[in-house]
Amino acid sequence: MSKISRKVLKQADEQCRVAEKIYHYRCDVLPEDRRIALRAALDKVQDLKEDRELESAAPLEAAMEALEAEMKLTGGTFYPKKALNENVEVLLVAALLAIGIRMFFLQPFRIPTNSMYPTYNGMTYELFMEPENVPSLIAMPVRAVALGADRIEVEAAEDGEIVIPLVRTAQVREGYTMRPRAVKARKWFGLLPTTNAEFQIMTGRGLSSVQVPLDFHSQLPKIIWEKFGAPTPDKLRLGPGGVWMYHTGVQAKKGDTILCFDILLGDQLFVDRVSYHFRRPKVGEPIVFRTDSIAGMDESERGKYYIKRLVGKGGDSLQVREPVLYRNGSPIEGAAAFEANAKKEGEYEGYLANISLRDMAGLGSAYTVPEGHYFAMGDNSDESADSRVWGDLPEKAVIGRALVIYYPFTKHLGAAK
């Protein structure tokens, strides 16, 4: 039996494996003398490590040193391995693994809007009404990490009254809203391009701009109403170009902070892409789907992922008797959000009968879901563009179900409901 330690034998095995790789990969480009020398050195190590009569490891170690020298001369990019090569290889393997997991198992997803509020949050905000309410500089990085908080502050451009330019619209209950313009911007410390929504606020004759993410644009008017009150007829005056001016009655000095709030990141979750390969989605499950194949989807929304709650399958009859959603003649079951909406519990405001489920004489008209399709609705029925607006979604559009919320660190953290 050989008296050579297992450690040395293991090192010899690994060296021979690499040497064989060099020989077979590069034998056609090596000079003949180098190829012969590499083969001879490799054969010698293999013979010695298999010699059961060898009394000492010294001959094997000497042969390994000779083989090492030949490998360095003939290895090219295979040997010795550069740190950069090794790191690139590790990164490529990690990237391929991550792509595979994302495509077939778990896909990260960010809730873009508040159509599923309060079950899931899109981007929300925390308004600081008074300077003393603003979190300290020490708290800011903590909030940024824990909540994904992004501080927005607006300063008065001049002395004078705070005035908000508005436009009339039938889309919001106040009848007026703020109209933003799209501006090019950058995110992730300036590394990536993005598009922001920019709003104007006047103080005296000066204009102050505030930029927010495009997905957040509908929230800014709500912040203004909360800060200064909703616009009432006595505070509205028609300005140049048909722009309505909301005179808040609040005076400010140049440089004063007139608006301060944090934008809080929407819920980040993992989508289970495996289960629906083995079973069909169940009514009540939060489903994630692509918008490409939905006939009534606006062109600008195609190519995106949405999350809504499945409320009907092919053949189901749906009806809304506000605030209750009915499926096949009975109040819908299968999710806590259904019952919460029916009872208008907490921030659940109940289901609305509109568009395809339009209210008729106090009863929502019944709608039958076509075969091969699903009907999806947001839990925030009042502010959700869903199947009531753009119609049914083909079964093939569904890619998975919401599984677990992993960020930010709020009460939503954990299993998706």
| pLDDT band of 361, cuts 50, 70, 90 | very low
Which segment of 98-112, 339-353, 374-388 scores lowest on mean pLDDT? 98-112
In this predicted structure, the answer to whether residue 86 has a pLDDT above a threshold of 70 is no
In this predicted structure, the answer to whether residue 258 has a pLDDT above a threshold of 90 is yes
How large is the greatest C-alpha to C-alpha distance in the chain, in angstroms?
A: 106
In this predicted structure, the answer to whether residue 125 has a pLDDT above a threshold of 60 is yes
In this predicted structure, the answer to whether residue 41 has a pLDDT above a threshold of 70 is yes
> Quick one: average pLDDT of 126-145?
92
> Quick one: average pLDDT of 60-65?
90
Strand 330-331 versus strand 324-327 pairing type: antiparallel
Q: What is the CATH number of domain 6-74?
A: 1.20.1270
- Exposed, middle or buried, 353 (CB in 10 Å: 0-12/13-18/19+)? buried
Higher-scoring residue by pLDDT: 358, 24: 24
Q: Using alpha carbons only, give the angle 363, 387, 284 rounded to the nearest 5 degrees.
A: 85
DSSP 263: E
Single-letter residue type at 14: E
Higher-scoring residue by pLDDT: 80, 368: 368
> Quick one: average pLDDT of 244-263?
95
pLDDT of residue 88: 66
Query: What percent of the chain clears pLDDT 70, i.e. is strictly above it?
Result: 91
pLDDT of residue 260: 96
| pLDDT band of 295, cuts 50, 70, 90 | confident
| pLDDT band of 90, cuts 50, 70, 90 | low
pLDDT in tens, 337-354: 999 999 999 999 999 887
> Quick one: average pLDDT of 88-114?
74
Higher-scoring residue by pLDDT: 338, 19: 338
Residue 232 has, within 13 A of its CA and on its CB side, a CA count of 5
| pLDDT band of 112, cuts 50, 70, 90 | confident
Length of the chain: 417
In this predicted structure, the answer to whether residue 360 has a pLDDT above a threshold of 50 is no
Q: Where are the domains of the chain?
A: 6-74, 124-264, 268-415
Q: Which long-range contacts (CB under 8 A, 24 or more apart) does 48-51 make?
A: 48/12, 49/4, 49/9, 49/12, 49/13, 49/16, 51/2
| pLDDT band of 356, cuts 50, 70, 90 | low
pLDDT of residue 84: 59
Q: Are 109 and 120 in contact (CB under 8 A)?
A: no
Query: What percent of the chain clears pLDDT 90, i.e. is strictly above it?
Result: 53
In this predicted structure, the answer to whether residue 175 has a pLDDT above a threshold of 90 is no
Which runs of E-coded beta strand occur in 256-338?
257-264, 268-272, 286-290, 305-313, 317-321, 324-327, 330-331
Residue 3 has, within 13 A of its CA and on its CB side, a CA count of 7
| pLDDT band of 2, cuts 50, 70, 90 | low
- Exposed, middle or buried, 346 (CB in 10 Å: 0-12/13-18/19+)? exposed
In this predicted structure, the answer to whether residue 359 has a pLDDT above a threshold of 60 is no
DSSP, residue by residue, 32-50: HHHHHHHHHHHHHHHHHHT
Query: How far is it, in rounded angstroms, from Cα 278 to Cα 252?
Result: 62
> Quick one: average pLDDT of 301-314?
91
Q: First vs last Cα of the chain: how many Å apart?
A: 65
| pLDDT band of 173, cuts 50, 70, 90 | low
| pLDDT band of 362, cuts 50, 70, 90 | very low
pLDDT in tens, 197-222: 999 999 998 999 999 998 898 899 99
| pLDDT band of 104, cuts 50, 70, 90 | low
Residue 171 CB partners (closer than 8 Å, separation 6+)? 177
Is the backbone peptide bond immediately before 408 cis, with ω within 30 degrees of 0?
yes
Which segment of 121-135, 264-278, 307-321, 359-373 scores lowest on mean pLDDT? 359-373
Domain 268-415 CATH class label: mainly beta
